[in-house]
Amino acid sequence: YFLCDSPEEVGRICGDDEPCNGFADLPSRIYAVYNDAVQCVGFHEDAHLISFVRNRPVCPAVTEGLAMYFDRKWWGIQNLDWTGYYLKTGRYLPMDKLLDREAFFAHDCAFTYPIAGAFTDWLLTVYGRERYEEMYSQPNPAAVMEQVYGRSPAALNADFEAYVRLFRTDDALEARMEELLRQEGVEA
């Protein structure tokens, strides 16, 4: 781990000058923001380093989804809670659409990352690790989802949405989520 003072510093080191809180630099380095406001340490970038040894898919919804599966949380709140809240408030982004690289990056990571993480958790829970590994090992996992899971990405998304709707969040948690989105300047 190389700890940096700001997202801008990480972006400069990364080489694209795009501010970010952390990135995995293959084969074995992680650059992460660590300051009073942000402590970007945990499983996310480690998951990238480890999973990229097996494959580096072209689909960011899959790679970030796996990393967020290991993180479990966005801003301290469970991925599933964020996803349920986005469904409830009309901000949910369907996973079958997020499998498109441009669509994934067209939206704020406060939406795409926790949704992809919750979807990955659901895929692993419902279909198992073996199928997930089979999908992940392909150059374009989104293109083989129907072959691997026997369901189209749109059908998988519908099943996932139905699953997420089984869970509820309380008013206090929802107020905290809205406050965090406002603090970070995130709009749907």
* Cα–Cα distance measured from residue 100 to residue 58, given in angstroms and rounded to the nearest whole number: 10
Among 165, 179, 145, residue whose Cα is nearest residue 75: 179
Residues 34 and 72 in one domain: no
Residue 9 β-bridge partners: none
Residue 136 counted as domain residue = yes
Residues 92-115 have pLDDT tens digits of: 999 999 999 999 999 999 999 999
Residue 64 counted as domain residue = yes
Residue 50 counted as domain residue = no
Positive or negative: CA dihedral 136, 138, 143, 148: negative
Residues 14 and 73 in one domain: no
Strands 2-4 and 29-33: parallel
Residues 14-37 have pLDDT tens digits of: 888 889 999 898 888 999 999 998
Largest Cα–Cα separation, the chain: 47
Residue 142 counted as domain residue = yes
Among 143, 135, 38, 42, residue whose Cα is nearest residue 100: 143
Residues 114 and 21 in one domain: no
Residue 34 counted as domain residue = yes
- In the predicted structure, residue 56 carries a pLDDT above the cut 90: no
Q: What is the mean pLDDT of residues 51-57?
A: 86
Residues 28 and 95 in one domain: no
Q: Using CB atoms within 10 Å of the CB of residue 15, give its burial: 0 to 12 exposed, 13 to 18 middle, 19+ buried.
A: exposed
Residues 69 and 162 in one domain: yes
Residues 83 and 133 in one domain: yes
Residue 106 counted as domain residue = yes
- In the predicted structure, residue 57 carries a pLDDT above the cut 80: yes
The first and second tokens of residue 108, run together, are: 């704020």
Residues 122 and 169 in one domain: yes
Residues 26 and 118 in one domain: no
Residues 145 and 178 in one domain: yes
Residue 28 counted as domain residue = yes
Q: What is the DSSP string of 84-124?
A: HHHHHTT----HHHHTSHHHHHTS-HHHHHHHHHHHHHHHH
| Least confident segment among 35-39, 63-67, 132-136 | 35-39
Angle between the N-to-C axes of helices 153-164 and 109-127, in degrees from 0 to 180, rounded to the nearest 10: 90
Residues 127 and 63 in one domain: yes
Among 2, 57, 59, residue whose Cα is nearest residue 25: 2
Residues 23 and 82 in one domain: no
Q: What integer best gives the mean pLDDT of the chain?
A: 94
Residues 76 and 3 in one domain: no
Domain count, the chain: 2
Residue 46 counted as domain residue = no
Residues 143-177 have pLDDT tens digits of: 999 999 999 999 999 999 999 999 999 999 999 99
**Can you give the pLDDT at residue 188?**
65
For residue 74, the enclosing domain spans 57-183
The first and second tokens of residue 19, run together, are: 């501010």
